[in-house]
Amino acid sequence: MHDARLVASHYTHGDLLDRITAGVTGLGKTPGTVTVDDLGAVDEFHIGGRAATAELLDRVGLDADHHVLDVGCGLGGASRFVAERFGCRVTGIDLTAEFVDTGRVLCEWVGLADRVRLHHEDATAMSFAPESFDRAYMLHVGMNIPDKRALAADVYRVLRPGAILGIYDVMRVGPGELEYPVPWASAAAGSALATAHEYRQAAEAAGFRVLEERDRRAFALEFFARMRERIEAAGGPPPLGLHVILGARAPEKLRNMVAGIASGAIAPVELLLQKVGG
Ligand SMILES: C[S@@+](CC[C@H](N)C(=O)[O-])C[C@H]1O[C@@H](n2cnc3c(N)ncnc32)[C@H](O)[C@@H]1O
């Protein structure tokens, strides 16, 4: 069982909405003029940001009739992107109340509050009825959930037969210690990294069929190299960026994660799963 308070206290910022509002002002925009694209720099809290989301979701296969579940939605950046790009209805759930509350405000800002609903819920014990969703995805969330079987079982329960689940998580890919903090945990006690094999076993035990697995290590290293170049060229980070959501220890968290990817201990990995049976 994961410690919900540990997860929420790691991610809770305290004044995130104010910081995002200041970033929006720094872009020369207002809550009334900011776009889903502008917000993508801060509200897509995973390696590769919006580009990574778009690549995964193109493979999940979405259309306007789908009701989509965003498991561990954070601020709901991917939820808004999906609603805008594919025209779907999206429900996001997250354990960190500040993310959910802030995310709801961002939905209002961009006029998507009718199609994107964010809820404060635990991914291993969701309140939804069985077979509520046509598609689901989970971006950088499993690293906080030790019981992958409980996670897979509950997502399986709320999906319709035939539905696809896209996972994009940081996974254990080789030996070696990590330094903390990292973006998902302040210390080792908050981290529940697993191998792709362990994810697949949990998924198959729940009833999923594994369609594809893709290692995204090279993509990740390229993403961080480009980010560093842009920050150096500009003499500092942009008004809206991952540093805003990562908080005071942002440089350390990123440095430790990138070192782990570079050393071959961890990497982001995509898994595409399908619910078979009913
Ligand atoms: C690194 S953030 C990623 C957020 C979002 N998926 C994104 O990519 O922007 C991890 C998120 O997982 C959420 N989380 C962790 N454990 C969870 C659980 N058991 N149930 C729901 N959300 C959880 C955290 O609150 C946090 O918002």
Q: Using one digit for the tens of pLDDT, what is the confidence trace for 181-217?
A: 999 999 999 999 999 999 999 999 999 999 999 999 9
What is the percent of the chain with per-residue pLDDT over 90, rounded to a whole number? 94
Instruction: Assess whether the C-beta atom of 77 lies below 6 angstroms from ligand 1.
Output: yes
Instruction: Assess whether the C-beta atom of 72 lies below 6 angstroms from ligand 1.
Output: yes
Ligand 1 atom closest to the Cα of residue 8 is: 25
* Number of residues that this document lists for the chain: 278
Ligand 1 atom closest to the Cα of residue 138 is: 6
Give 4-121+130-275's CATH code, choosing from 3.10.105.10, 3.75.10.10, 3.40.50.1980, 3.40.50.150: 3.40.50.150
Predicted local confidence at residue 125, as pLDDT = 97
Instruction: Assess whether the C-beta atom of 99 lies below 6 angstroms from ligand 1.
Output: yes
Residue nearest (by alpha carbon) to ligand 1 atom 26: 74
Ligand 1 pocket check: which of 71, 80, 82, 95 to mutate, most ligand atoms within 8 Å of Cβ? 95
Ligand 1 pocket check: which of 7, 104, 158, 182 to mutate, most ligand atoms within 8 Å of Cβ? 7
Q: Using one digit for the tens of pLDDT, what is the confidence trace for 3-50?
A: 888 999 999 999 999 999 999 999 999 999 999 999 999 999 999 999
pLDDT band at 248 (very low <50, low <70, confident <90, very high): confident
Q: Which of 42, 43, 85 is nearest to 62 (CA)?
A: 85
The residue whose two tokens read 């390696």 is: 47
DSSP 179: P
Instruction: Assess whether the C-beta atom of 74 lies below 6 angstroms from ligand 1.
Output: yes
Radius of gyration (Cα) for the chain, nearest Å? 18
Q: Which of 221, 233, 201 is nearest to 262 (CA)?
A: 221
C-alpha count within 13 angstroms, C-beta hemisphere, residue 168: 26
Q: Give the H/E segment covering residue 207.
A: none
CA distance 168 to 73: 12
Token pair listed for 256? 């430790």
Token pair listed for 22? 């200041």
pTM of the model: 0.97
The number of beta carbons lying within 10 Å of the beta carbon of residue 215 is 14
Asked if pLDDT for residue 72 goes beyond 80, the answer is yes
Predicted local confidence at residue 23, as pLDDT = 97
